[in-house]
Amino acid sequence: MFLTLATDLAGVDAPASDFGFLLHKNPARPQGIEVTGGTAHVFYPDATDERCTAAVLLEIDPIALVRSGRGKAQEGFTLGQYVNDRPYAASSLLAVALGKLFRTAMNGRCDARPDLAARPIPLEIHVPALPCNGGAELAARMFGPLGWSVDARPVPLDPEIPAWGDSRYVDLRLTGVLRLADALNHLYVLLPVLDDAKHYWVGSDEVDKLVRAGEGWLGTHPEKDLISHRYLAHRRYLADTALERLAEADGVELVEEPSEEGSVSLAVERRQTVAGVLRELGARRIADLGCGEGALVGELLKDPMIGELIATDVSARALIGAKRRLHYNDLPDRQRERLRFLQSSVTYADHRLAGLDAAVLMEVIEHVDPPRLPALAKSVFQAARPAAVIVTTPNSDYNVRFPSLPAGRFRHPDHRFEWTRTEFRSWATAVAHDNGYTVEFRPVGPEDPEVGPPTQLALFTRVAPEGAASAAASTRDRRDAGEVMS
């Protein structure tokens, strides 16, 4: 089976041959790796300053595939496990090969050309023989919403005998201006989806793969239900889990979060921004309060300078999901020793969280009923009292920029409120004043000149010694008592 990726890097101040840096494969040296049932090769038919094409050739040995246990025979057709289209047609075998060949590129990392990896580039992809259970129209429905121009032409059963009609294969050509990492993840997920088959057993770990590869695009894809069910071999309980995680992932915003073409999603930018603030603070002992399924925790684990990381959530199910997502049991001992999971509510004091360098409430406060916010402030800023607190929450002023969000609706059905910039600043300033903290505000995501950023961030820094904090608390208590008496 065969696939090509090409670019001329038009509009980019770099020779087209720099494509090899993005793919982490030298155009001057063909490479190959062993995969299940065969060998995957990468070579460059052309690599000039004007155009660069990388070709992936996957050689499959049907006998080796059967011996590995991955070539399943169709019922009543024993030879079907040896005589089939697997060596010739793009399938999950090719998707796995892409994942192994270009793992670093799929993660969007290129130390040699980081600016090029982060920006959209012109791309052309050609898959000459793609099994498509749904025809050319389905291929367009899958790739079109992702920014691709789709040319999917049915392959005739026999060009010499038109009366036989078309086969189930299409000759697929995609053109677009996208980040290479996004393009590779699209192929990784959608090749087996269009084939509607996989060459290996599909278990719960495939949910992790789907959510990871679909980050930033699958949750808002109009065909996400079909994609999830096909990718997970029509196992409904797995598909339901994947859809729930896609809905709840990265801040639980269900509407599309607009960003500049080719840039990272707002969810990723939010995590990276929070991690950057923690690095700026030099925080070594950190709690992620309301961690959900561990997206931020996974980001923070990458920082070797963090000595202790506590992930809390009121939901035991969420903590189990976080452990599964982070592959906690498979982490090296040193990593596991840095990480603790605690079932805890942000509205109740928890002595286990006292004395930390920083606490993070990322997209958490909007899930708390407004009458419970004073309890949240007390448990975080008085009982736990970390040196710094980072709070992010949606900016409701920005909601008008979401075309799919009806007026007056929240971004997620579980949100109890969504604050404007003025409302958030008022609450945060009062909390800081009452508890001996200072507060500064920062944008997260592209800042609109009229409605501000899509996410707003408050950084609280403790400045008062414990004695002054107690005095501030006494002053607050006397003020509250006076209000009650009046």
Which DSSP helix (H) or strand (E) runs through 461? strand 455-462
Task: Give 252-307 pLDDT, tens digit per residue.
Answer: 343 434 444 344 578 888 999 999 999 999 999 999 999 988 989 999 999 999 99
Gyration radius (Cα) of the chain, Å: 26
Q: Residue 486's pLDDT is what?
A: 34
> Sign of dihedral through CA atoms 283, 289, 291, 295?
negative
3-state secondary structure of 172: strand
Q: Residue 258's pLDDT is what?
A: 42
> Sign of dihedral through CA atoms 422, 426, 432, 433?
positive
Buried b (16+ CB within 10 A) or exposed e, 297-333: bbbbbeeeebeebbbbbeeeebbebbbbbbebeeeee
Q: Residue 478's pLDDT is what?
A: 43
Structure tokens at 415: 């949100």
Question: Are residues 267 and 253 in contact, defined by beta-carbon separation less than 8 angstroms?
Answer: yes
Q: Per-10-residue mean pLDDT for the chain, 486 residues long?
A: 89 86 92 85 94 92 61 50 66 88 91 88 94 92 94 90 90 95 95 85 83 88 91 84 68 41 68 95 96 90 93 88 86 91 94 96 94 96 97 95 82 88 97 97 94 96 65 48 37
Strand ranges (E), 293-431: 308-313, 339-343, 358-362, 388-394
pTM: 0.53
* C-alpha to C-alpha distance for 176 and 90, rounded to whole angstroms: 20
- List, in order, residues 6 or more apart from 5 with CB less than 8 Å away: 19, 23, 53, 54, 56, 123, 124, 125, 183
